[in-house]
Amino acid sequence: MNPEQRYLQGRTRRHFFRECGMGVGKMALASMLARDGFTAGTPVPRGLMKEFHVPPKVDHVIYLFQCGGPSNLELFDYKPELTKYHQKGVPESLMKGKRFAFMDTFAKEPPKLLGQTRKFTQHGKSGKYLSELLPHIGSVVDDLTFFEGVATDNFNHGPAKLFLNTGSVRTGRPSIGSWVTYGIGTQSQDLPGFVVLQSGPRGPRSGAALWASGFLPTAYQGVPFRSTGDPILNLSNPAGTNSDQQRQTIDILRDLNEMRFKETGDAEISTRILQYEMAYKMQTSGPELIDFNKESKETLEMYGAKPGDASYANNCLLARRLVERGVRFVQLYHADWDHHNDLTKPLDDVTKEIDRPTAALIKDLKQRGLLDRTLVIWSGEFGRTPMGEVRDAGKVGRNHHIDAYTLFMAGGGLKPGITVGGTDELGFSPTGDPMHIHDVQATILQLLGIEHTKLTFRFQGRDFRLTDIHGHAIKQALA
């Protein structure tokens, strides 16, 4: 064997790509980007699906997530019989086999029912009963579709939030926003396809796992934005660095990453290249996004938004601006709904924070012609029990309840002004056809043109999907 033969025998494909220069590397990169759902030369994930499984009814989602489990019995579910039986023991037949987070079902004295103290009145042509705490939402009730008696699987906050967002109580699975952008991509050229906004006194339990991409490429994970200052930390150029210098830096980083990609074939490097490009574009688009100066005084007043505030109101307005700019999935997290020991002022305060902006978002989308192509969802991770929970003397709240709670949606493809499902006279158990969180997830995907059983990703030898092996679209709600 001559020296040349010995040299060639020791060469591998990796050596070939590393030593053949940037041309072959760029060809390989383009192939990898196409395989992973990206368009070469642009930082926009285009989505795996070549065509929709079913005709899409909406293009965008705004998910208003209320962290802590809002009490449906103080907000949406009018139950005169519950008030009639106030302070009565719960029938043993209802409690059999049930488990609650902070309530002993085997105590000598069964927990007592807690009547409703809020006044409920009918709203709109649909005549839907709503609590006095939600006057603004009452003004748009005929645009809403209510789902009553929805069940979920876990009664602890962290796992329940994970389940609602990822279809699993365990970390490591992709979030619904990641599944959507992985499947159908985004329309925005200079903003991420999946944006996360937060308000309230603290972040949600389980944190970034709620908007992570799991085993999907990291380009599909949610990107947290702020409604004040830089939309993303460290987005602005350092002092003394101009746009031309920043462009040169991005180009050098791209070339270095392409060289590294040629050596390793690591698909995450393609994501890194695209994220640098996205960050560069967002240095212009980001500040413009949160600049409310072009919004009318009437619009700001309708939302109750104040420029510079990190508030739910500002985030609702920001959500509308994001979908206007083509962002596919926007998720708002608003904390402080965990009312175990006081259903008076704490509940008053948090409903006041969300009532006006939520209704304003529906009205604003509708008058701009966006509601027909946008799905708005308002939901917590579970509901609250008809039984009271006493922690502090003289105060009473409600425990976590996973068997039957209420959420609502609005937007294209839904029958507005109706209530799907229901609960018994005490608000304890569902009536009619059962509805589960996996059914809600399947319904969201179908409205976006995705058949939930067909959007899968093979990982560790198994095909995974958002709804696991369950779920069906809730046909009664679909127009």
Structure confidence by residue, pLDDT tens digits, 217-238? 888 999 998 756 555 655 566 6
Mapped to the 3 state alphabet, what secondary structure does the chain carry?
CCHHHHHHHCCCHHHHHHHCCHHHHHHHHHHHHHHCCECCCCCCECCCCCCCCCCCCCCEEEEEEECCCCCHHHHCCCCHHHHHCCCCECCHHHHCCCCECCECCCCCCCCEECCCCCCEEEECCCCEEEECCCHHHHCCHHHCEEEEEEECCCCCHHHHHHHHHHCCCCCCCCCHHHHHHHHHCCCCCCCCCEEEEEECCCCCCCHHHHHCCCCCCHHHCCEEECCCCCCCCCCCCCCCCCHHHHHHHHHHHHHHHHHHHHHHCCHHHHHHHHHHHHHHHHHHHHHHHCCHHHCCHHHHHHHCCCCCCCCHHHHHHHHHHHHHCCCCEEEEEECCCCCCCCCCHHHHHHHHHHHHHHHHHHHHHHHCCCHHHEEEEEECCCEEEEEEECCCCCCCEEEEECCCEEEEEEECCECCCEEEECECCCCCCECCCCEEHHHHHHHHHHHCCCCCCCCCEEECCEEECCCCCCCCCCHHHEC
Residue 163 has pLDDT above 70, yes or no: yes
Least confident of 194-203, 224-233, 396-405: 224-233
How far is residue 346 from each of residues 70, 117, 138, 186, measured CA to CA in Å? 12, 15, 21, 38
Q: How many CA atoms lie within 13 A of 298 on its CB side?
A: 2
Most confident of 19-23, 58-62, 152-156, 253-257: 58-62
Can you give the pLDDT at residue 146?
Answer: 98
Residue 66 has pLDDT above 80, yes or no: yes
- In one letter, which amino acid is 311? S
Kindly report the average pLDDT of the chain as a whole number. 85
Structure confidence at residue 476 as a pLDDT band (50, 70, 90)? very high
With tokens 């979030």, the residue in question is 175
How far is residue 313 from each of residues 179, 210, 358, measured CA to CA in Å? 27, 22, 8
Residue 386 has pLDDT above 80, yes or no: yes
CATH assignment, 57-229+290-477:
3.40.720
This prediction's pTM = 0.83
* DSSP-assigned beta bridge partners for residue 65: 333, 379
How far is residue 228 from each of residues 67, 168, 199, 233, 361, measured CA to CA in Å? 22, 33, 12, 10, 19
Residue 300 has pLDDT above 70, yes or no: yes
Can you give the pLDDT at residue 42?
Answer: 42
Most confident of 17-21, 92-96, 177-181, 270-274: 177-181
Structure confidence at residue 45 as a pLDDT band (50, 70, 90)? low
Can you give the pLDDT at residue 259?
Answer: 76
Structural contact between residues 185 and 37, judged by C-beta atoms closer than 8 angstroms: yes
Distance CA 212, CA 468 (A): 17
pLDDT per position as a tens digit, 319-360: 999 999 999 999 999 999 999 989 999 999 999 999 999 999
Residue 243 has pLDDT above 70, yes or no: no
Residue 179 has pLDDT above 90, yes or no: yes
Report the share of the chain in percent with pLDDT over 70.
76
Structural contact between residues 291 and 156, judged by C-beta atoms closer than 8 angstroms: no
- In one letter, which amino acid is 298? E
